[in-house]
Structure 1
């Protein structure tokens, strides 16, 4: 027990930094547009939303450690050197007997997300550790088969999706393709060396086919029994056809097996879209027809892209709940959102509930502050698209679907905006108005050469001290 406690404490300290070393997906320039008209329509609807929440919640919330990865043996994972690996796995998976989130209230999560101005949600139905947050019939390793089983909301995913659906959110189901608890993926006959399947698929094709059937059946459940699902968000990009392994995958530093880890995505996609016509498939990093949008992680691409993408960024330092996490300021999140949207993307903000099923007061406060800004400035964010000249220093630009463009002026934290806001290019139309969204006010402006100058009254300079950003609306000079 002392060893286990020591392991827990180590991960409490290390979980905030360890994720950035080995599990992060970078962005890629490769993209293939879907051909299905219903998928294309849903994709454009998703691109209008711009801001969503991803919720990591599972066994890892009980001790407050990094999600799943502590089970894995790779160079970037650190465990207490005196611990026995098999004991650690037994302890981790045994957390099922302690996971009893009696304060689980998904309506409060949905309200916090709505108050933040978010428009879609992605919920972890199963992470790599194989613990199911839905009432699957194909595994006993699930939230509905422990101390929470008698709770009316034991089929957790159902109630999460229902709560967010009632708030008119687009619904996304996160599902891990690898399953480290399954004997068809990590077989007890062999050691579990790393994130990959731990046996040679070529020698045991029956076992791998069982895993493929298992995966197909679980995704069939998710797309059949849980109401309307808009996004199937598939994580674990190392489970993929061997011929698709590229430099991006190699950069993760994990071993690349000699065998094919494909799970027949064409068959899965056909089934999912029969069950849920138009559903978006996000087979992360496996570029092609089943990655309907790309998902750079914990980063914002340096350049603009006209193809669909989403930056996945945590509110704190970890995806799930860890004690004493340090949360980003609302200003920092808003600044990131502005940059992401101006470059053509959406932002998926990671929030992790506690083991009891609650969000922390600090998380709720941050979300509320973000929403207060979006409530008055959201016109410059939602339903917009990127333009080629997307920024000039701290001024970022978006284009609405009508004739208007927007300039989003980021204000450094704890500072006042400049009385004279200026930028090069993207000039307002001569004789038109430059409108400050948060004040419903036309501002004085002028153009000198190729530079625009907008003048902010002194009263507003003082009023907007410590404000995240100003949003200006104008018609562009053609």
Structure 2
């Protein structure tokens, strides 16, 4: 064999071996399940935030599903009111894409938004990449319907990603586009039809725009829709490589082969860049061996063996709604965070900016109040793990059998009722944090029954975060009895934190 031929074969083998080394994951479940679903950074983070901002922010009424309900006259319930209101506000011939030129964002400032999110205490910060409506928020080469080509003229994903990474925070991109092919279609009972035809009539659209509209409104074949679903994800992975790609329920309508291809590409890209990344499953579109379970606006019944995540609304709706200018009660948000973390969960909030890029003042104030508490007492949340029991107290959280997420273990009823009689536990090393979910002006004494001799938990000392007072405490066969300090610490109306050091 000639030297030249030998060198060629050796070079080929070297390249093949290098490629194999770099491509750890193949698009099959056996290979993909080798991915570590929950890296330490995610288990430690506990609190994240992103936002719903898009074309639907222009009408600012009826939520981020406005584009569907404006074409749905026979929708039972609140959807039908949007259909009528849309025609009243904009006329008979005003289509969803007509909102795009109206979406201007002169006040969008990524630094200002990330300042707010970081100030709230979020350890991972996200940008919505694409919602169900088919409009991308980055400079997509596969989808001309994007926020750089038209509308605000802003690469939203890039701006938030760069600002977040400057601060050594984790970056998240959210994708809801698995439902896009069905979003502008009618729903027949509970059966959603692949490649359904949306409700627009193309007779009224000028010929040069017709093909572009098909892509926006999901009026492509099922095969084409699957291909563009994957292409969009690959663009964001290749350019931004998010630490976390959050995915909405609609991914279950995507062909399984495409889902596997996405995961293999994402995991391999992360492997090549020495990055530990996260995906979630909202339902069963990904196996739980490789993904984090997501339940919407809910908690779990008890401590789970694996980390999970739940998402809540910061404002009155997922996106900005001009008819309801309210925000989450910061005290309730903090109590829900304690509840979630005590059961091995992570909490994600969604802000709803106005179309012009302004963050509504009521949401800003809520973030500031949450941040004030986190700054003082975050050690009881960040980097913690569940204790031998998640908590105790009179508030009972119940299952709602009619709720879609009930099938995945989620419970909702009673979440808003958590109060100062309820305790939630977290732990870190030899320290246990007992979070009393509010300040009790009438009864400052608590007996924490988990600290009994039966559980072999011996207490060395008790302090209260934010207080310099000496705390009265006693451990006996009934548990650990503790007394609130006489003076209420700052922000303790949301939650008071006992720091319990074990022997």
Coarse TM-score class (shorter-chain normalised): 0.7 to 0.9
Which is bigger in relative contact order (C-alpha 8 A, separation at least 6)? 1
Does 2:319 match 1:320?
Answer: yes
Return the match for 1:239 from 252, 259, 266.
Answer: 252
With normalisation by structure 1, the TM-score equals 0.76
Report how far residue 476 of structure 1 moved.
4.0
Q: Could you tell me which residue of structure 1 aligns to residue 55 of structure 2?
A: 59
Quote the Cα distance in structure 1 between the aligned partners of 2:194 and 2:285. 21
Quote the Cα distance in structure 2 between the aligned partners of 1:308 and 1:287. 18
Quote the Cα distance in structure 2 between the aligned partners of 1:89 and 1:219. 33
| Maintained 8 Å contact 1:417/1:465 | no
SS of the residue 1:452 aligns to: strand
Q: Could you tell me which residue of structure 1 aligns to residue 81 of structure 2?
A: 79
Return the match for 1:209 from 220, 223, 248.
Answer: 223
Does 2:125 match 1:99?
Answer: no
CA deviations 1:211-257 (Å, max 9, x no partner) are 2221111111000112x41111121336347xxxxxxxxxxxxxxxx
Q: How does 1:185-264 map to 2 (within 5 A)?
A: 185=181, 192-193=186-187, 196-199=193-196, 207-226=221-240, 228-237=241-250, 239-240=252-253, 261-262=255-256, 264=258
Report how far residue 33 of structure 1 moved.
13
Q: How does 1:40-439 map to 2 (within 5 A)?
A: 40=37, 43-65=39-61, 66-72=63-69, 73=72, 75-76=76-77, 77-79=79-81, 91-149=95-153, 154-178=154-178, 180=180, 185=181, 192-193=186-187, 196-199=193-196, 207-226=221-240, 228-237=241-250, 239-240=252-253, 261-262=255-256, 264-277=258-271, 278-286=276-284, 288-289=286-287, 292-323=291-322, 324-393=324-393, 394-400=422-428, 402-411=429-438, 416=441, 418-427=443-452, 430=458, 432-439=460-467
Report how far residue 372 of structure 1 moved.
1.2
Report how far residue 35 of structure 1 moved.
4.4
State the aligned residue count. Answer: 404
1:367–1:442: structure 2 CA closer, same or farther, 3 Å change rule? same
SS of the residue 2:293 aligns to: coil
SS of the residue 1:294 aligns to: strand
1:383–1:33: structure 2 CA closer, same or farther, 3 Å change rule? farther
| Maintained 8 Å contact 1:321/1:352 | yes
Quote the Cα distance in structure 1 between the aligned partners of 2:311 and 2:434. 24
SS of the residue 1:276 aligns to: helix
Root mean square deviation of aligned Cα: 3.0
Report how far residue 69 of structure 1 moved.
5.0
Report how far residue 426 of structure 1 moved.
2.7
Quote the Cα distance in structure 2 between the aligned partners of 1:317 and 1:117. 21
Q: 5+ unaligned residues in a row in structure 2: which ranges?
A: 1-29, 198-219, 394-421
1:33–1:447: structure 2 CA closer, same or farther, 3 Å change rule? farther
| Maintained 8 Å contact 1:56/1:124 | yes
Larger Rg: 2
Quote the Cα distance in structure 2 between the aligned partners of 1:160 and 1:218. 18
Q: 5+ unaligned residues in a row in structure 1: which ranges?
A: 1-31, 201-205, 242-260
Report how far residue 176 of structure 1 moved.
1.9
Runs of 4+ in 1 over 6 A off after TM superposition: 83-89
SS of the residue 1:134 aligns to: coil
Quote the Cα distance in structure 2 between the aligned partners of 1:107 and 1:406. 34
Quote the Cα distance in structure 1 between the aligned partners of 2:296 and 2:339. 15
| Maintained 8 Å contact 1:237/1:285 | no
1:338–1:455: structure 2 CA closer, same or farther, 3 Å change rule? same
Report how far residue 81 of structure 1 moved.
6.2
Q: Which structure dedicates a bigger proportion of its chain to helix?
A: 2
| Maintained 8 Å contact 2:32/2:263 | no
| Maintained 8 Å contact 1:416/1:465 | no
Report how far residue 310 of structure 1 moved.
1.0
SS of the residue 1:432 aligns to: strand
